[in-house]
Amino acid sequence: MALNEGDVAPAFTLMRDGGGMVSLADYKGQKLVLYAYPKDDTPGCTQEAIAFNGLRAAFAAAGTAILGISPDPVKSHDKFKAKHKLDFALAADEAQQALQDYGIWVEKSMYGRTYMGVERTTFLINADGKIARIWRKVKVAGHAEEVLAAAQGL
């Protein structure tokens, strides 16, 4: 089931880079950019992560945390984060439960083959835990800046 703006963001607790845990409750009382991406260290995902990372001071000034989520394992997140010097958490949803709860684990197709995967989506969650904005089927160029503008206006 697809989520809509104004819905309560589904709770989750997942393994994160560095071997710890991360949950939606960790961000209670602040805004959160939850961005879902298909795979660590692929061109679009790398560009998106670097763009969010480059704006993290501006997001912090807007009282907004950043959390990336993908089905990749923690070990992959650790390498990706170190390689690109990312300074925000990456959640590992290997069972795809949170991705399903957010309605973004979907059937995709490429070269005539269908498979299940992440639909690149960003959720801006307000300090009360409700979804303020949703960007579906994200095009990476300029996206982080657009999300920052929305966070600053929230």
Active-site residues, by number, are 45
Q: For residue 37, what are the contacts with CB-CB under 8 A and spacing of at least 6?
A: 44, 45, 48, 49, 68, 69, 70, 118, 120
Q: How far is CA 72 from CA 26, 76, 84, 124, 150, in A?
A: 21, 6, 16, 22, 28
Q: How far apart are CA 89 and CA 52, in angstroms?
A: 12
Contact 67, 26 (CB under 8 A): no
Question: Which candidate, 28, 55, 36, 51, places its Cα nearest to that of 128?
Answer: 28
Q: Is 21 exposed, middle or buried (0-12, 13-18, 19+ CB in 10 A)?
A: exposed
